[in-house]
Chains A and B, each alone.
Chain A
Amino acid sequence: MNRLEKLPTLRINPAHPISFTYKNKTCQGVSGDTIATALYANGIRIFSRSLKYHRPRGLYSLDGESCNTFMEVDRIPNVCAETTRLRDGMTVNAQNVKGTPEFDLLGFLDKLDWAMPAGFYYRSLHKPAWIWPIALKQVRKAAGLGKIAPDFHIPGKYDEIYPQTDVCVIGGGAAGMSAALAAARQGLRVILLESRPWLGGFFDYRTVEYAGGVPLYRRARDLVQQLEQTPNVRIFTHTAMIGAYHHNLITAFQKGTETDHFDERYIEIQAQSIIVATGCIERPLLFENNERPGVIQIGCAHRLAYSFGVLPGKRAVFSVGHDLGIEAAIDLFDLGLEIPCLADIREDGQDAYLVARLAERNIPLLRGWIAVQAHGKTVKKATLSPIDGSQQRDIECDLLVASAGMTPVTAPLSLLQATLSFDDHTGFFLPIKLPPQVHAAGRLLGLTNSLSIEASGRLAGISAAADCGRQDVSKLNEAREELSRLPGPQRGSKLVTAPLKGRKTFICFDEDTTVKNIRQAIQMGFDEPELVKRFTAAGTGPGQGGIPGHNLPLFIAQTNSDGDVKTKATTVRAPLVPAFIATYAASKHDMCKRTPVHDMQEKAGGMMRRIGVWQRARYFSQDLSCREEIENVRNNVGMLDASTLGKFRIWGPDALKALQRMYVSDISRVCEGKIKYSAMCNEDGCIIDDGVIVKRAENDYYFTTSTGRAGSTVEWFRYHTRYDGWNFYMVNLTDVFGVINLAGPNALRVLEKVADTYLSNEALA
């Protein structure tokens, strides 16, 4: 196993190997790997084939922004390999492939892109009408993601919890952790959600200095330690937020570890105040063949090495738009990655310290340059060009690390009804109006300075505490001042595409939408991002707009030369990450009550069936007509377990009044020690229940109800007498007594034996 084992930032344990099967071959990963990182470490570069053109796709990001690494795992299709932890004995296969991912028989479809312009599906396949069902079948066969057998039952254990909290923090990076600590220190209960298996965010894998000689990853681990020592903070890792509803109700899915009692868990959190600190993902750089295996994002390359111990390639060209790219290049160079050059979209504005460190390593920095094309089935060569396209330079490489800029993860804010607006300085969609009791902090506000990020988290935490009644004005002002002294949001790059215009520049990987498709849509008059999204399907795939979400509105605004077209974000909807329906359904808790004669009946061969909340014997014969059983009751005697009936005692001065209201019969005519059968109606006069009433004494009765209504009878009595203030007591005796129903000509004789006295119809009358 070729792993970098000495790095202090590692999230894997190379000493603990894990075996799994890929394409019927046994492979080795290590503890801490995701399926995708283990496959990558095993040299796998092509993970799947794309939806429409069957183009090879590989590892591009590590947080599930696209369906490039969706695979079939243990027969479950569409499992996101980059966010799913590797487990011993997993069987992994590629999907949407005829043949192998490397040699896909449907690969020729890539050449037929001219026949599939934007919206071809809706526009061409319905004339004449009879062609649609035939075409549909063929399209379905060739396109799509994984396949599922109709009789497939998903394995695994699913759970659900419904916690309440004062403050819910979404995002466990530096801002989120600082916010959680600040709120918790005001004495509040805090829930912290992090979608990765560990806290730390952008700090977690970086070795640059935080302050006072402490590297960022150390700082992150310090914050984690402080959180773990704060008992009023509850941390959920590997837990992705999926939805937000009225009054700060947050839903999330948690993935279980080996020691958890569940594989996935649905979490519904009721919070007073919410802090969104979800940070940023990267904005893809669009150029020809920008989704080839071997083209990866900066964070992906950086984390592959520093979190997972996998050096992502041998020789890498960088084409970046922000300082994190320069930092990654330096870090990866130091681990042995050859870097022929680093192209930076920006003409200036790079961090001087990073530029100096780049120069120390003799890595040429090409300011104002950009990648325009990737070559090879997996990357073999990259073409770079200045932004004006005036010249080109080809460089051989096996890795092209590319990123246009950062994209704030604003989806949670959108779901919480915050108003977002395009900000020209950062190039971000920033919240300009937050709903009450919702706060935002950290990198998603455009902050890049580590101290600023933490300070904005603390401010959000103290503000959230004020929402929960812990107003601390001096602390609030202190936090505000601290933040204002620190560096504010950094200027962001807004460039989307490289100058070279080709046919295979992908704005959306999931739906195989090219920049050309977007242009076609705009030419046809679709000028709004929402309309273009629907017409071209860009951003409607399982990645939930992770790849095109930011580029699409930027590109449309830049392409519409009118100038009055505002840069508008498209709407996001829950669930924010793909989720199993099984997790929503949670486990089938089959809880039931057993009658006192349950075991006896089972021993006698009774077929137990569910009736309401009970299990009860339905019949005892092997012969399903039950003829013998029925005949025995008719001619001799039979016994029925009626213990599931509702049984109640009602007494007190107004007990009779209550019964008179509930039953259709005149209960006052029942004499002491006697029994009467009657029915209950609802307010419309429909019969809803029946049973018997026994008068035990004056204003003291015992009565029965049907099995199904036993649970709601007390509630029913109280509801219909709620205005009267009557004085009566009720006890539900359903579980206290067993009931046996004896029937048949010999019933009385059997009862006599039990009763130990002479019985007759006359005596009972």
Chain B
Amino acid sequence: MSLIIRCPICGKRSAYEFRYGGEDKGPRPDEDSLTPESWCDYVHMNQCVAGIQKEWWCHRDGCGLWFTIHRDTINNLEVQHPEAQS
């Protein structure tokens, strides 16, 4: 696999060292008004964008941190400052 991920603590490392944690969907929905449908949506409904996606990774074979990166899903490259671009 040819993906290089920048861990905020350890720096650029091979993606073999990381575990993917899915796309970033924001905090869990509030439990007070939670319905099975809204929970199901939160768990299963993904954006699956073809383009820049914010997503979670865990540096499993390194420092153990969970963090987010922006990755272009079309060319599988980490993008450094997508907010600055848009």
Q: List the interface of chain A (C-beta within 8 A of B).
A: 162, 164, 245-249, 270, 683-684, 714-715, 718-719, 722-724
**Cβ-closest chain A residue relative to B19:** A715
In contact, A164 and B58 (Cβ under 8 angstroms): no
The residue that A722 contacts in the complex, of B2, B3, B66, with Cβ under 8 A, is B66
In contact, B75 and A246 (Cβ under 8 angstroms): yes
Q: A247-B3, A719-B21, A723-B26 are in contact. List 10 more A-B contacts (CB 8 A).
A: A246-B2, A247-B2, A247-B4, A247-B76, A249-B1, A270-B4, A270-B14, A684-B43, A719-B56, A719-B58
Q: Which residues of A contact B14 (CB under 8 A)?
A: 162, 164, 270
Judged by a CB distance under 8 angstroms, whether B64 is at the interface is: yes
**Cβ-closest chain A residue relative to B76:** A246
**Cβ-closest chain B residue relative to A721:** B66
**Cβ-closest chain B residue relative to A661:** B28
In contact, B75 and A718 (Cβ under 8 angstroms): no
Q: Which residues of B contact A722 (CB under 8 A)?
A: 21, 56, 66
In contact, A723 and B2 (Cβ under 8 angstroms): no
Task: With both chains docked as a complex, state the minimum distance between the C-beta of A715 and any C-beta of chain B, in angstroms.
Answer: 5
Q: Which of B33-49 contact A (CB under 8 A)?
A: 43
Sample (12) of A-B pairs whose CB atoms are under 8 Å apart: A162-B14, A246-B2, A247-B77, A249-B2, A270-B4, A683-B43, A715-B66, A718-B58, A718-B66, A719-B21, A722-B56, A723-B26
Task: With both chains docked as a complex, state the minimum distance between the C-beta of B44 and any C-beta of chain A, in angstroms.
Answer: 8
Contacts A162-B14, A270-B14, A723-B28 given: A714-B64 contact, CB under 8 Å? yes
CA distance in complex: A258, B54 (Å): 49
CA distance in complex: A690, B76 (Å): 37
CA distance in complex: A186, B64 (Å): 35
Contact with A along B16-38 (1 / 0, CB 8 A): 10010100001110000000000
Contacts A249-B2, A270-B2, A715-B19 given: A723-B76 contact, CB under 8 Å? no
Q: Which residues of A contact B77 (CB under 8 A)?
A: 247
Task: With both chains docked as a complex, state the minimum distance between the C-beta of A353 and any C-beta of chain B, in angstroms.
Answer: 48
**Cβ-closest chain A residue relative to B40:** A684
Q: Which of B52-86 contact A (CB under 8 A)?
A: 56, 58, 60, 64, 66, 75-77
In contact, B58 and A715 (Cβ under 8 angstroms): yes
CA distance in complex: A135, B10 (Å): 61
Q: Which residues of A contact B60 (CB under 8 A)?
A: 715
In contact, A162 and B2 (Cβ under 8 angstroms): no
Number of interface residues, chain B, beta carbon within 8 A? 20
Q: Which residues of B contact A714 (CB under 8 A)?
A: 64
Task: With both chains docked as a complex, state the minimum distance between the C-beta of A718 and any C-beta of chain B, in angstroms.
Answer: 5
Task: With both chains docked as a complex, state the minimum distance between the C-beta of B19 and any C-beta of chain A, in angstroms.
Answer: 7
CA distance in complex: A714, B19 (Å): 13
Task: Identify the 4 closest CB pairs spanning chains A and B, nearest first.
Answer: A249-B2, A723-B27, A246-B2, A247-B2
Q: Which residues of A contact B2 (CB under 8 A)?
A: 245-249, 270
CA distance in complex: A683, B21 (Å): 13
Task: With both chains docked as a complex, state the minimum distance between the C-beta of B25 and any C-beta of chain A, in angstroms.
Answer: 10
Q: Which residues of B contact A719 (CB under 8 A)?
A: 21, 56, 58, 66
CA distance in complex: A714, B58 (Å): 11
CA distance in complex: A723, B2 (Å): 29
CA distance in complex: A128, B26 (Å): 65
Q: Which residues of A contact B58 (CB under 8 A)?
A: 715, 718-719
**Cβ-closest chain A residue relative to B68:** A722
CA distance in complex: A719, B66 (Å): 7
Task: With both chains docked as a complex, state the minimum distance between the C-beta of B50 and any C-beta of chain A, in angstroms.
Answer: 16
**Cβ-closest chain A residue relative to B42:** A683
Task: With both chains docked as a complex, state the minimum distance between the C-beta of A762 and any C-beta of chain B, in angstroms.
Answer: 40
CA distance in complex: A723, B19 (Å): 17
Q: Which residues of B contact A247 (CB under 8 A)?
A: 2-4, 76-77
CA distance in complex: A714, B59 (Å): 12
**Cβ-closest chain A residue relative to B21:** A719
Give the interface centre of A162, A247, A248 by most chain B CB atoms within 10 Å.
Answer: A247
Q: Which residues of A contact B19 (CB under 8 A)?
A: 715
Task: With both chains docked as a complex, state the minimum distance between the C-beta of B86 and any C-beta of chain A, in angstroms.
Answer: 23
The residue that A715 contacts in the complex, of B27, B28, B64, with Cβ under 8 A, is B64
Q: Which residues of B contact A248 (CB under 8 A)?
A: 2
Task: With both chains docked as a complex, state the minimum distance between the C-beta of B10 and any C-beta of chain A, in angstroms.
Answer: 13
Q: Which residues of B contact A724 (CB under 8 A)?
A: 27
Task: With both chains docked as a complex, state the minimum distance between the C-beta of A632 and any C-beta of chain B, in angstroms.
Answer: 42
**Cβ-closest chain B residue relative to A720:** B28
**Cβ-closest chain B residue relative to A250:** B2
CA distance in complex: A723, B28 (Å): 8
Give the interface centre of B2, B16, B60 by most chain A CB atoms within 10 Å.
Answer: B2
Task: With both chains docked as a complex, state the minimum distance between the C-beta of B79 and any C-beta of chain A, in angstroms.
Answer: 13
Q: Which residues of B contact A684 (CB under 8 A)?
A: 43
CA distance in complex: A245, B21 (Å): 24
**Cβ-closest chain B residue relative to A682:** B43
Q: Which residues of B contact A715 (CB under 8 A)?
A: 19, 58, 60, 64, 66
Q: Which residues of B contact A249 (CB under 8 A)?
A: 1-2
CA distance in complex: A245, B75 (Å): 12
CA distance in complex: A353, B75 (Å): 53
CA distance in complex: A150, B60 (Å): 39
CA distance in complex: A686, B2 (Å): 33
CA distance in complex: A331, B15 (Å): 52
Q: Which residues of A contact B3 (CB under 8 A)?
A: 247
Q: Which residues of A contact B28 (CB under 8 A)?
A: 723
**Cβ-closest chain A residue relative to B26:** A723
**Cβ-closest chain A residue relative to B75:** A246
Q: Which residues of A contact B43 (CB under 8 A)?
A: 683-684
**Cβ-closest chain A residue relative to B39:** A683
**Cβ-closest chain A residue relative to B13:** A164
CA distance in complex: A269, B81 (Å): 27
